[in-house]
Amino acid sequence: MAQIEKLSGIAFLAFPEMKNLLTAELAGRFDYGKIVESATVDGLSFTPFGTSSWYGDLLYCPDFKHEIFENVGNELPYFASTCMIEPFILRFESIGEAASALKEIQRNWAPYQYQLFRRASLIQEKLPYINLKTRKFPVNIPNSPMGLYTLLDDKTMLASALTNSPLPAGRIQFEEDHENPPSRAYLKIQESLSLFRAFFGVDFPKEGEKCFEAGACPGGWTWVLRQLGADVLAVDRAELAPSLMEDEHVHFMAHDAFTLKPEEVCSLLECEKIDWLLSDVICYPARLLQWIKLWLDADRAKNIICTIKMQGAIDWPLIAEFAKIPSSRIVHLNYNKHELTILIHNE
């Protein structure tokens, strides 16, 4: 019979290639600095419980207290795609026994595997179906809880029914269009819009809505907005891709977008308040924060999506100032690199 042992602490699943940023965030933002690298035993990552331990990209911190979150507005680490909030060890004798034990707890489970891939696949096949494949935009993000498990050996798994993401392993991956978008940045706005709808219940931009994109060149975000039917004022020093420059629903302006006043933008788009304010501009985070606050003080934008580009080490007190903005969420997207994204619903 399967046996369950409840564990203390929390386990954090880092986004791919983001282990260093996750540990830096835990130390810099949460003042949690007891991070140790796992030893290697027979080629597998392993550290006895009792110290922080890496299992692939999964970091288990047995002494990470839930009270630590109270100092940062109860926000979990941005560079973790999902967190095992109530981790436990499940010991089992067979694949069927493992699957049955998980199903008794809840319906939805997703694997994270760094080893024993075939065995994990056999367990997943016996669990209720969830979509682990790439998805075609637009998508709806479910609100059902999504458990997470990983095999530590062929008869032991680390798991948690309670996580902070309804997505499998906390990540969404889209089917990529390698021909039409001007740049891969289009994936970031697709993910951002999907999360925006999940967080705030706001539908995607649509026909008749007015969007202002700062730093639009070469046009990846504008391309997505036009695919959805919205009108776009695209501002940058350099022009967009030719197909977008020829689009009658795209008004291009060669200008520094941050120097345009909100009332000027609204006048150009012939509206009192724009529907979407967007920026993927490379700039200092402090300048971006000042620009966002300018628009919020003017109350001229309903919804805001901006990439917070880092200049060297992350200034966590400054990120905390972004997080104080009402009705906002800060996320690290699956398609972000060394950057974060802020989503604001200003209605």
The type of residue at 170 is G
Cα 62 to chain centroid distance, Å, stands at 24
Query: What was the pLDDT predicted at 31?
Result: 85
DSSP state of 77: P
Query: In Å, what is the CA distance from 310 to each residue of 57, 137, 158, 298, 313?
Result: 22, 27, 33, 26, 7
pLDDT at 170: 96
pLDDT at 145: 82
* pLDDT of residue 297 exceeding 50: yes
Q: Distance (Å, rounded) from C-alpha 58 to C-alpha 14? A: 6
- What percent of the chain shows pLDDT beyond 90? 86
pLDDT at 317 over 80: yes
- The mean pLDDT value for 10-14 works out to 96
Instruction: Report H helices in 173-246.
Output: 186-200, 220-227, 242-245
The percentage of residues in the chain with a pLDDT greater than 70, rounded to a whole number, is 93
To which H or E segment does residue 341 belong?
strand 339-345
* Segment 76-130, tens digit of pLDDT: 999 999 999 999 999 999 999 999 999 999 999 999 999 999 999 999 999 999 9
Structure confidence at residue 49 (pLDDT): 41
Residue among 260, 259, 264, 180 at smallest CA distance from 222:
180
Asked whether 73 and 328 are in contact (CB, 8 A), the reply is no
> SS3 for 238?
coil
* Average pLDDT, integer, range 206-229: 97
Scanning the structure block, which residue is given the tokens 């979509």? 131
Over 90: is that where the pLDDT of 287 sits? yes
Distance of alpha carbon 74 from alpha carbon 30, whole angstroms? 11
Is the CB of residue 244 less than 8 Å from the CB of residue 266?
A: no
- Per the CB < 8 A criterion, the answer to whether 310 and 332 are in contact is no
Angle between helix 186-200 and helix 220-227 axes, rounded to 10 deg? 50
pTM of the model: 0.92
Least confident of 28-37, 46-55, 132-141, 167-176: 46-55
> What are the structural domains of the chain?
3-170 (no CATH), 186-345 (3.40.50.150)
Phi, psi for residue 62 in degrees, rounded to 5: -65, -25
The residue-averaged pLDDT of 272-280 equals 97
H helical segments located in 211-284: 220-227, 242-245, 262-268
Q: Is the pLDDT of residue 72 over 90?
A: no
